[in-house]
Amino acid sequence: MVRKKTSENSAFFFRVYELTKLIPYGRITSYGAIAHYLGSGRSARMVGWALNNCHSRPEFIPAHRVVNRNGLLSGKHHFGNSTTMKQLLENEGIIVDDDQVVDFPEKFWDPLKELK
DNA sequence: ATTCTGACAGCAA
DNA sequence: TTTGCTGCCAGAA
């Protein structure tokens, strides 16, 4: 068993960024789905942490397409204005009502299922 | 080095 | 059903 190094664990963040950018237009996914895809089912918090650092990224990360398992825009507050995330989602055809994604399971994009 | 926190999720009461 | 605690991993103080 080779113990993973800290630098390799940092790749987790990179994975999150890559996967987030792979989310198709008009689709959304959950933190848990991303975490599970990366191999750590219950490390969803890391996903949020990584996306928190997405602001440090030179490129645009469609983090607005990532919501919690309830389809709730838990990270809306991190887009400057609380309405920014909602606007971005609605701009992609995703209906957001009361900070909650309508037809969440329908718009849900599972990396495990789509990317295999 | 220790402790706390964080854009979550799961399970127990 | 709702509320609360725990687990998860990494980073900041």
Q: What burial letters (b/e) apply to A68-103, b meaning 16+ CB within 10 Å?
A: beebbbbbbebbeeeeebbebbeebebebeebebee
Q: What per-residue confidence (pLDDT) applies to A3?
A: 43
Least confident segment among A7-11, A47-51, A98-102: A7-11
Instruction: Using the structure, give the distance in angstroms from the CA atom of A99 to the C1' atom of B4, rounded to a whole number.
Output: 29
pLDDT at A65 over 90: yes
Residues 39-98 of A with CB under 7 A from strand C: 40, 42-46, 49
pLDDT at A99: 93
The model carries a pTM of: 0.90
The bridge status of strand A96-97 relative to strand A100-101 is: antiparallel
Q: Give the pLDDT score at A5.
A: 52
pLDDT, tens digit (0-9, with 9 covering 90-100), for A51-61: 998 988 889 99
Contact A51, A63 (CB under 8 A): yes
Q: Is the CB of A3 under 7 A from strand C?
A: no
Rounded to 10 degrees, the C-alpha dihedral A85/A87/A89/A94 comes to: 140
Instruction: Write out pLDDT tens, residues A24-41.
Output: 999 999 999 999 998 877
* pLDDT score recorded for residue A8: 54
| pLDDT greater than 50 at residue A2 | no
Condensed to tens digits (0 to 9), the pLDDT of residues A96-113 reads: 999 999 999 999 999 999
- How many C-beta atoms lie closer than 10 Å to residue A67's C-beta? 27
User: Which pLDDT belongs to residue A1?
Assistant: 43
What fold is seen in the domain A6-114?
Answer: Arc Repressor Mutant, subunit A (1.10.10)
Distance A109 CA to B11 C1' (A): 25
Distance A45 CA to B4 C1' (A): 15
Q: Can you tell me the distance from the alpha carbon of A23 to that of A34, in angstroms, rounded to the nearest whole number?
A: 11
Residue A81 CA to B2 C1' — how many Å? 36
